[in-house]
Structure 1
Amino acid sequence: MIVVAVDDPHGARLAAELVAEGLDAVAVPAAAPAEATEATLFGRTDAGPVLAGAEVLVLAVARTTLTSSVLAACDRRGVRIVPVGADPDGAAAAAAAGLAAPLPLDVPGWRLAEAIGASPAVAAPAPADSTGIVLTVWGPDGAPGRSTVAAALAVELARGGRRVALVDADSHAPSLALALGLADEGPGFAAACRQAERAALDGAELARISTPLDLADGEVHVLTGINRPSRWPELSEARVAGALTACREWADYVVVDVAASLERDEEIVS
């Protein structure tokens, strides 16, 4: 469903034209109080349930409408924002939020439908071959529980017979092997990175160099981290990207445990 949060007369017109294009659209007022909560977005108490079923929010952007409450509600519900309007402050707010440049308020419905990218006449093609989902677990310096969360997430995702790759890509303090009681002298993720650079990393090779966890109803294959932090240059950008691409083609989910921070330039030079 598409929620059109644009004041009349444009809001009603856009919603009607989107419906004429074959899309499910509903118009709501754009005005929102500065301290709006999710339950009172756009001046109506039922906006929360409306957003719950929405995929796209067409919003007349202004400082008073593109608020932190609106952004947070859309983020929580996975709703994409398509901005419209000619307010310079609204355009600046949209840019600051990482949104596209606003469309004009008098944009025709067919053009808005193109921008939304939700043509009902053509079904989205299925991918040629399935690829897994990559989930990265990150947190601040110290010991906030990144590795614990990554391991627990991998085990939970493996339920039901799914294959999960658990990758220790922490270049500062790799700890998954220790936490899971695995040997840290195995080939692990560094070997996967080297094989990816040679275009020799496939499912069979990943099964060989990973360490399986014994689970009742799924598979978690652990690619342990480097066994000392001084080896971090082995995890170059190109190698890591290639290794994760191969993991996606092999596993249903790839859970990646990463370091808290990037290397500083002076550390790279030395």
Structure 2
Amino acid sequence: MSTFDPVLGRAVMVMPTYNEADNIGWIVGRLRAAQPGVDVLIVDDGSPDGTGRIADELAAADDGIHVLHRTEKAGLGAAYLHGFRWALDAGYDVIGEMDADGSHQPEELHLLLEALHDADLVIGSRWVPGGSVLNWPLRREALSRGGNAYVRLLLGIKVRDATAGFRLFRRTTLEKINIDSVQSTGYVFQTDMVTRALNAGLTVSEVPIQFIERVRGHSKMSGAVAAESMRRVTAWGIQERRAQLRRAWERARTPQ
């Protein structure tokens, strides 16, 4: 585990998996080829299709690959939090996220790494100028764009792609936002982490990427998952508006 960047330090990409036997070897191979100085942590949620076994074989052949086996499918956020804690304990300076299905291109990771020199959290964004999606139906694109617009409106943030899952954190960012207090376990975890970073006064940058719809296996996203995320965001938005009103009321009552 060598230092790949004299400024950023040691880096690892955390990659949650559930039934990704068709993709895991292919995507990890691309990642190690594109960024051989960046380690990989596969967090498998007890996949019944043999993903965990394949991950172990990859790790046995490459000391830059590591595997955590979880006994249940407890949600994307829970898998990431487990991986983040492991990476912090292992002393990594840069801790990233990416999907195992090929939708995030390892060949674009250098864009995020370069941007991290001037940021605390970098997001590979589909919805900033230059970003794009490939092979998505219009309905799904509208749902993602609309969901992110809703997040910006309710939470009062400017991030264009708060739901994106291709990102890099500095270890100091994860330490400052106190990941042990994070309770989001599903896909809303991504929005939660962005909001916490902004609320902590940290710098969040977005760089354009091309997101490619998976060609093998099945997406874990569903209408129910999206609806649950929006319910959580709505609750956070209401809490924030109440807090703003309370602060305004207290200022109004304070003698000048």
Largest Rg, 1 or 2: 1
- TM-score, L = length of structure 2: 0.23
Q: Normalising by the residue count of structure 1, what TM-score does the alignment of the two structures yield? A: 0.22
Structure ranking higher in helix proportion:
2
